[in-house]
Amino acid sequence: MELLVYIPKQTPRINYIFRHICGRILGFKVKFCSKVEDFIAFEGVKFSYAKKKLGNEVFIQQYGLLGELGINDLNFSMDIWEDVPCFFRVSSESDIPFDIFSAAFYLVTRYEEYQPHVKNDVDSYPLEESLAYQHEFLKKPVVDMWAYKLKAILQEKFPDIAFPDKGFKSKFIISVSKAFKHRHNGLVRFVGASLRDLFQFKLKSMFNRFKTMLRLQQDPYDVYDELIDFAKANQMQLDFFFQLSNYSRYTKGISYNKRIYHKLIKSMGDYGHLGLLPGFEALYSIDILKKEKKRWENIVNRSLTKALIKNYHLNFPDAYLNFNKLEIEKDYSMGYQKNIGFRAGTCTSFQFYDLNMEQVSGLLIHPYVLNSNALKELNLYEQIDELKNLKSSVKAVNGQMNFIFENSDFAEEGSKNAIFTLMKEML
């Protein structure tokens, strides 16, 4: 369905955020016009976005951010409107008392992450400095909630028109940075790890390593058949992301050259989509990232389209710029590693906007709500009720919840059962 928006002047920022809110979230095909006569003559769903109201149309007043260039210091205060946090307040003439498009642009582009900040050791951008954390709306998809407030106003103005609707979705991604805990690591690493366990009196760990190597028990991280069986039984799809880095301080998995690893990657591709888990060094060097991409494509025999950063810095925005240069189309890294919620304020996929160049890229970002690293400090069963409440707010805006786990998360019986319970609840 077509939606017409009157704007005095179109800018790249306006075009970008309207495509996200009115297009991706609300399902409209957006058209802009700058002629009042064309706007008045249009008989479908429409509203104006300007400094001044034209007549009796639905009107959203511009705050001004979408007409600017570059990154500036912004001074604004937070408000609450109909139980939803908001900012960039405008006059009472506007049908919504704040500029939802400027506010959404600020969150979705990660405007605040371009501003000076002290990086931390996990997410690069400190959670504590984020607007969402400081004002306690990290667990609300506020951008989508604002969009649905606008939708309600438009439905009241145009009651005879059927509005498009999407359905709620959930996606589960399995990250594989270390395919096996003990097996296939090589003799030297086996001896070294066993001696380390012996000197540290970790006799149980050493005993389990020997049992695994003698094939008296399955490798703890070899959970792939069980994951596939669970996915089939619950009619869900799992996506798998594999790491193909050189052995280093940060990468301890089996060699990317091993045939058993190639066989595993190809077999998982029979049950779900595949993607690349870039190594630490690849996040800071496009040449290394290019090598890992080529390795992946040589194994899978198709072009790489998906990438995920799970346990390292999201080197924002450089990592995304490199993904875009190498024509990686989809990213699943947008979230906080140790906190549940929406880093970009939205539960809908969005394109990466480079604020330095004021350009929209072809990279589509799929934000996650939960990284399993967050569960290392929390009791998962205690989080299920909270995630169920969060699911209700996402379902209300027909959004998507993405969950990121590791194969190693399923090694222990207790954590495995808790995660399976969570997956069933989130379907």
pLDDT tens for the chain, 427 residues long, are 899 999 999 999 999 999 999 999 999 999 999 999 999 999 999 999 999 999 999 999 999 999 999 999 998 999 999 999 999 999 999 999 999 999 999 999 999 999 887 776 655 788 999 999 999 999 999 999 999 999 999 999 999 888 888 899 999 999 999 999 877 665 555 555 556 665 676 656 666 665 666 576 788 899 999 999 999 999 999 999 999 999 888 887 888 999 999 999 999 999 999 999 999 999 999 999 999 999 999 999 999 999 999 999 898 999 999 999 999 999 999 999 989 999 999 999 999 999 999 999 999 999 999 999 988 767 777 788 889 999 999 999 999 999 999 999 999 998 999 999 999 999 9
**Domain spanning 169-181+219-426: CATH 3.30.70.2660:** no
What pLDDT sits at residue 253? 81
Give the H/E segment covering residue 259.
helix 259-268
Say which amino acid occupies 48.
S
What pLDDT sits at residue 187? 55
- In which order are the strands placed within the sheet that holds 59-61? 29-33, 2-6, 45-50, 59-61
**Token pair for residue 119?**
């990086």
Phi, psi of 88 (to 5 degrees): 65, 60
What pLDDT sits at residue 348? 98
| 278 closest CA partner among 316, 237, 319 | 319
Q: DSSP letters of 41-52?
A: H--SEEEEEESS
Measured at the alpha carbon of residue 280, what is the angle toward residues 279 and 285, in degrees to the nearest 5? 90
Measured at the alpha carbon of residue 350, what is the angle toward residues 286 and 49, in degrees to the nearest 5? 130
The domain locations on the chain are 2-157, 169-181+219-426, 188-214
What pLDDT sits at residue 344? 98
For helices 259-268 and 286-300, what crossing angle results, to 10°?
A: 80
Measured at the alpha carbon of residue 308, what is the angle toward residues 334 and 303, in degrees to the nearest 5? 130
The rounded Cα 187 to chain-centroid distance in angstroms is: 39
Pairing type for strands 359-365 and 78-81 reads unpaired
Rounded distance between C-alpha atoms, residue 277 and residue 11, angstroms: 35
What pLDDT sits at residue 217? 74
106, 65 contact by CB (below 8 A): yes
Straight-line distance from the first to the last Cα atom of the chain, in angstroms, rounded to the nearest whole number: 29
Measured at the alpha carbon of residue 81, what is the angle toward residues 77 and 86, in degrees to the nearest 5? 40
Burial of 263 (0-12, 13-18, 19+ CB in 10 A): exposed
What pLDDT sits at residue 379? 75
For helices 203-213 and 187-199, what crossing angle results, to 10°?
A: 160
What pLDDT sits at residue 382? 79
Q: How many CB atoms lie within 10 A of CB 49?
A: 21
296, 306 contact by CB (below 8 A): no
| 33 closest CA partner among 43, 23, 48, 45 | 48
What pLDDT sits at residue 267? 97
What pLDDT sits at residue 20? 98
What pLDDT sits at residue 163? 85
